Structure 1
Amino acid sequence: MDYSHRIEELDYLRGFALLGIVLVNILPLLELGMPKAGSLDAAYWRFLYLFVEGRFYTIFTFLFGVGFSIFMTRANQKGMNGGVLFLRRIVALFLFGLVHVKFHPGEALTVYAVCGLLLLPFYKVNKVMNLFLGLLMFIIFSVFSFKLFMVIPIMLLGISAGQFRLFEKLFEKKKGIAVFTGIMFVLSIAGLLYQYQYAPFIIEDRLYMEFVRIGIIIGPIVSAFYVGVLVLLLQYRFIQKWLSPLKSYGRMALTNYMMQTVIILVVGNQLHLIGNISCIHSFLICLIIYVIQLSFSVLWLRYYHYGPLEWIWRVITYLQIPPLRKQMNAHGDRLSRE
């Protein structure tokens, strides 16, 4: 199994996941209250809980599991101690999370670090067994709506996907991916229609909890559909080129994830937005964040190998200081490969 090349589709998917995550995270960060019944805000809130909440976070979690498997495989192929490297990587992630959680109580990094540590032994477990255990836990936790616990089975399914080399030679798997995406589309439509029946038009409505519970159950199905569609689109060169900023965004996922919080809180405090704007206004802020971060990511990676926090993460993991800046010739062209 050769992971010597970078699997670019994973970067696109990480960037795509970040686009959705900020739409949900901005609400508690700016302390936005529940929307009034019948308002545009209420409609947007229902949209978020139907198509965004739990959908993009699930993708991010799954990709963490895939990255876990790839990281361990690459380390072992190079004759390194993958377990030790991963432990240092997890400790660094936990430290990033400890800083982040002081400003964003709902952040994911500390949770990922703990779950990654718990799942470390599963890297050596048979891929079929990991798939079975992941699906079994996923079904049990989703039925009982244990949202926090869902991280473990979804991450384990990501590890299994890495073991099955699911994201290698995707063009050759195009037909299978299309069939899978079609099935997920049908299931997603059925699930969303069922969930919408419980959509509360008054947030305090007794239907609210059932609406959210159903959303937790069908969330990973909708996430799988999103992933399938994007992977299929990325098999076309012009789509890859058109969405290339998303790839840069995903390559700097750690930096951009934490910077989303910084931007929201700084802007929120300086402009006195906290608790004083509507949900729709939060969406407009997210659009501005997209423009800033996508542009910054493309520009940064033109001159540097890694994102700022990704470089620090790598230093702690390998206990070495890799070159950060790319070498340029007199005309400003890159001499080193990305």
Structure 2
Amino acid sequence: MIPTERNKRIEILDYLRGFALLGIILVNILPLLSVMSPSPHSSDAVYQRFLYLFVEGRFYPIFSFLFGVGFYLFISRANAKGENGYLLFLRRILALFVFGFVHLLFHPGEALTVYASCGLMILPFYKVKKEVNLVLGGILLIVLAIFAAKVFMALPLILLGLAAGQYQVFEDISQKVRKVTIFTVIMFTLSIAGLCCQYQYVPNLPFVAGKTNSIPTMRFLQIGIMAGPFISAFYAGILILLLQFSVIQKVLSPLKSYGRMALSNYVSQTALILLAGKLFNWFGHIPYQQTLYVCLAIYAIQLIFSKVWLSFFYFGPLEWIWRMITYRRVPPMW
């Protein structure tokens, strides 16, 4: 059973998950270590602006969208094997919620509980026509983006991922290069427009997100949320196009392993950040730019670990537990 399932993996999704994780940690580390507010006109202030222009709100949409794609693939494949895909998925998101609840104790901004809750709400849409899911998800995303309701945007993103699964967007992606190129060019154009608009409100002084009363700064952050899905789509499109070259696939192969162990790596990112903060007394004492170096070190550790682990085992550690709970049997590890 395992070799067949492994052959069915859509590897492009693993690359995208790994890519999304690389960006997510750059933002998550800030509240986890209570990063110091940058001094005006410093390199830390420049890095803060960079994060809020090109990283914040640019990677979690990819992760949310991919959860929707995985949602569709999981139920479809379970049903195709004669199993009750709905029951298995309910167990799956229940287990995910438990993982998320434990994670929430250490990381208040964690996303697993959000995904589990959204998965439950989206479940009835599995049988809805793909055109309806696409239109509904698109309209809901636009409305929430206009109001900069970031906390609720995961729901339409997951619904759009479900629609993408229904449309089989990622199957035989190499045969759809022209369509992906057109899509990426459109998203690039919209991204440039969004970034230019956001840049008009770049704060002169450093800020603390969620605690600022400055109208220009609030506008800067709101436009960033509105432009986020377009920039995310552009990032994903560029990566997909690059991966059409075998040499790029080989160079980025650690990213594929990183994405295959997305759950383990997402949770262990928090563990490594908190451990480093404890060991080096960084809580409230680390500047913005130094967090980049911490993230680079965590990248190295996790990318190497993921590559080595998957050379011996089929699943990541938490993925194996997740699978065991879902199917109520112990899956083979190798």
TM-score by length of 1: 0.94
Residue of structure 2 in register with 1:126 after alignment: 129
Contact 1:42 1:201 in 2 (8 A): no
- What SS class does the counterpart of residue 222 from structure 1 fall into? helix
**Which residue of structure 2 aligns with residue 307 of structure 1?**
316
Does the CA contact (< 8 Å) of 2:58 and 2:229 recur in 1?
yes
Equivalent of 1:46 in 19, 29, 49: 49
User: 1:114: which partner in 2?
Assistant: 117
For residues 38 and 46 of structure 2, the distance between their equivalents in structure 1, rounded to whole angstroms, comes to 9
Pick one of 303, 307, 312 that aligns with 1:294: 303
Once residues 70 and 142 of structure 2 are traced to their aligned partners in structure 1, the CA distance between those partners, rounded to angstroms, is: 23
Q: Which amino acid aligns with 1:130?
A: N
Matches within 5 A, 1:6-17: 6-17=9-20
In 2, the alpha carbon distance for the partners of 1:214 and 1:252 equals 32
Q: Which residue of 2 aligns with 1:182?
A: 185
Q: Spell out, residue by residue over 1:214-272, the C-alpha distance to the aligned partner (whole angstroms, 9 max, x if none).
A: 01111000000000000011111111011000000000000000000000001101110
Moved over 6 A (4+): none
Q: Which amino acid counterpart does residue 204 of structure 2 have in structure 1? A: F
1:56 to 55, 59, 62: 59
Give matches, 1:1-338, under 5 Å: 5-202=8-205, 203=207, 205-324=214-333, 326=334
C-alpha separation in 2, matches of 1:10 and 1:46: 29
Letter in 1 for 2:329: Q
Q: Give CA-to-partner distance per residue, 1:67-121, whole Å, 9 cap, x none.
A: 0000011001001100000000000000000110000000000000001001000
**Aligned equivalents of 2:116, 2:8: Cα separation in 1:** 25
> 1:231 is matched by which residue type in structure 2?
I
Find the aligned partners of 2:188 and 2:137 in 1 and give their Cα distance: 22
State the secondary structure of the residue aligned to 2:244: coil
Please identify, of 70-79 and 205-214, the stretch whose mean Cα deviation from structure 2 is larger: 205-214
Cα-Cα RMSD: 1.1
Q: CA deviation at 1:34?
A: 2.3
Q: Is the 8 A contact 2:36 2:286 kept in 1?
A: no
Measure, in 1, the Cα distance between the counterparts of 2:147 and 2:32: 28
Secondary structure of the corresponding residue to residue 303 of structure 1: coil
Q: Which runs of 5+ in 1 are unaligned?
A: 327-338
Which structure 2 residue ranges, 5 or more long, are not aligned? none
Tell me if the contact between 1:11 and 1:248 (Cα under 8 Å) persists in the aligned partners: yes
The whole-number CA distance in structure 2 between the counterparts of 1:285 and 1:226 is 23
Residue type of the alignment partner of 2:35 = L
Please state how far the C-alpha of 1:206 moved relative to its aligned partner.
3.0
Report the count of equivalent residues: 324
**Is the CA contact (8 Å cut-off) linking 1:58 and 1:154 kept in structure 2?**
yes
Q: Find the aligned partners of 2:217 and 2:285 in 1 and give their Cα distance.
A: 24
Counterpart residue identity of residue 64, structure 1: F
Query: 1:33 Cα shift?
Result: 3.0
Aligned equivalents of 1:300, 1:97: Cα separation in 2:
23
Equivalent position amino acid for 1:62 in 2: F
Instruction: State how far apart, in whole Å, the 2-side matches of 1:262 and 1:177 are.
Output: 36
TM-score, normalised by the number of residues in structure 2:
0.95
* Deviation (angstroms), 1:207: 1.1
